[in-house]
């Protein structure tokens, strides 16, 4: 049985002596592993970025929107919205928020040259932030308890905040709302949502105080997050409930988070790039085999001398394999470091990204194992040729 330790050190010493040759042999492996791991890492980064954007826009997986607009142009009453919300909570959902929407003009409460701004005001529950990703640029989201009695809380998105001087200036300011009951609200937060129009959020209980019971909101929805595996079941249950109260129409219940469609595109793109990176790794292995063959030819006399001093065929075979394993292992490690640097540089280029994605160490490990396997396979033929050399001819070739 061959002792591996002397072979390992002998192979390492041989690679150290011929640094330039080793560098050229490992360069293609470095590039292949770096490309392969970078593809996986960037794919994970893209998937997390898309998911974050979807969660900000339409909700977390899986989000259902239930429209409670009655036949005609009138919406459900407040009591109807509340009853249905209580009923939905009873069937078991992960998070739920009532949503009432109105179009309102807002302006600075104090004397100001700023013109009024027409905005969409959304009355929501505290659970709204659990249904959709609410990244606050400033301030704090509304509490789950009763609203503060002295002023309705207002939360501006970036477009609305820009109209009032930006995030810092808008935060804490008092705004007048042109509602049935003249109202002033205080800006408690600025939200970095992805809307293309100014939007103001407030507590739904505060919004209702600004209007009489008979003034219906423009939109009355229930927005909820459910377990993805139970989407069909819960949709069916809610559909029967709506039919029972006279609200028919399949479009009333919609799954609004569409991350799966984006993810499918990302998976296809990542697979294509992964195949290209894999091809580059295999190509590097072929180049490594050709280089190893040429090296074996140049070291014929060395192997002849080793055999003359008692080295067996298996000994020569193992040395060639060990050299290839060490070379590809070191090269794959270097390739992983390069891909990690590319990944961190990409994160620095998008500081606003808050997906919490980390470098895929597992992909680096798999890439390293694949590189070592390719290195072993590419060294088999040269190692067999070196092991089968005729001792006399090998020594005479010196």
Q: How far apart are CA 364 and CA 343, in angstroms?
A: 12
pLDDT of residue 73: 47
- Annotated domain spans of the chain: 4-56+260-396, 63-257
pLDDT of residue 259: 66
pLDDT of residue 1: 44
Give the total residue count for the chain.
398
Using DSSP's 3-state secondary structure scheme, residue 311 falls into coil
Tell me the two tokens of residue 364: 């680096």
What is the SS3 string spanning 157-182? EHHHHHHCCCHHHHCCCEEEECCCCC
What is the DSSP-derived secondary structure letter of residue 250?
G
Mean pLDDT per 10-residue run, the chain (398 residues)? Answer: 61 65 72 75 72 75 82 64 89 90 88 81 89 79 64 87 85 88 87 79 89 81 89 88 71 77 71 74 73 72 75 79 81 82 75 61 78 81 77 62
Asked if omega into 62 is within 30° of 0 (cis), the reply is yes
pLDDT of residue 396: 59
Q: Note the pLDDT tens digit of each residue in 73-82.
A: 445 678 888 8
Q: How far apart are CA 67 and CA 334, in angstroms?
A: 55
5-13 contact pairs (CB < 8 A, 24+): 7/315, 7/318, 7/319, 7/322, 8/322, 8/326, 10/319, 10/322, 11/319, 11/322, 11/323, 11/325, 11/326, 12/326
pLDDT of residue 70: 60
pLDDT of residue 119: 92
pLDDT of residue 124: 92
pLDDT of residue 75: 56
Closest CA to 184 of 174, 194, 193: 174
The pTM (predicted TM-score) of the whole model is 0.63
CB atoms closer than 10 angstroms to residue 26: 27
pLDDT of residue 386: 77
């Amino acid at each position: 049985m061959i002792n591996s330790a002397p072979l390992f050190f002998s192979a390492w010493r041989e690679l150290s002596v011929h640094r330039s040759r080793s560098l050229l042999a490992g360069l293609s492996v470095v590039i292949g592993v770096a490309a392969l791991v970078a593809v996986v890492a960037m794919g994970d980064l893209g998937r997390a970025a898309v998911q974050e954007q979807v969660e900000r826009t339409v909700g977390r997986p899986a989000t259902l929107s239930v429209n409670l607009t009655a036949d005609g142009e009138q919406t459900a009453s407040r009591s109807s919205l509340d009853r249905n919300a209580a009923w939905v909570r009873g069937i078991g959902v992960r998070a739920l928020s009532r949503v009432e929407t109105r179009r309102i003009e807002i302006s600075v409460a104090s004397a100001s040259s700023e013109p009024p701004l027409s905005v969409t005001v959304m009355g929501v529950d505290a659970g709204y932030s659990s249904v959709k990703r609410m990244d606050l640029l400033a301030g704090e989201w509304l509490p789950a308890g009763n609203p503060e009695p002295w002023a309705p809380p207002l939360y501006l998105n970036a477009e609305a905040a820009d109209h009032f001087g930006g995030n810092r200036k808008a935060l804490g300011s008092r705004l007048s709302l042109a509602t049935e009951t003249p109202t002033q609200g205080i800006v408690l937060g600025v939200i970095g949502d992805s809307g293309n129009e100014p939007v103001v959020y407030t507590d739904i209980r505060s919004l209702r105080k600004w209007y009489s019971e008979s003034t219906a909101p423009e939109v009355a929805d229930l927005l909820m997050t459910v377990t993805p595996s139970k989407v069909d079941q819960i949709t069916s249950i809610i559909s029967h409930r709506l039919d029972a109260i006279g609200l028919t129409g399949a479009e009333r219940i919609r799954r609004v988070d569409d991350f799966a469609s984006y993810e499918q595109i990302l998976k296809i793109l990542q697979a294509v790039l992964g195949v290209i990176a894999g091809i580059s790794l295999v190509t590097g292995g072929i180049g490594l085999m050709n280089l190893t063959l040429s090296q074996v030819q140049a070291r014929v006399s060395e192997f002849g001398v080793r055999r003359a001093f008692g080295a067996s065929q298996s000994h020569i075979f193992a040395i060639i394999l060990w050299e290839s394993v060490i070379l590809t292992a070191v090269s794959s490690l270097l390739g992983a470091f390069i891909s990690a640097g590319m990944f961190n540089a990409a994160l620095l280029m998008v500081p606003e990204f808050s997906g919490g994605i980390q470098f895929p160490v597992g992909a680096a490990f798999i890439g390293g194992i694949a590189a070592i396997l390719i290195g072993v396979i590419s060294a088999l033929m040269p190692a067999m040729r070196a092991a089968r050399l005729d001792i006399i001819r090998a020594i005479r070739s010196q």
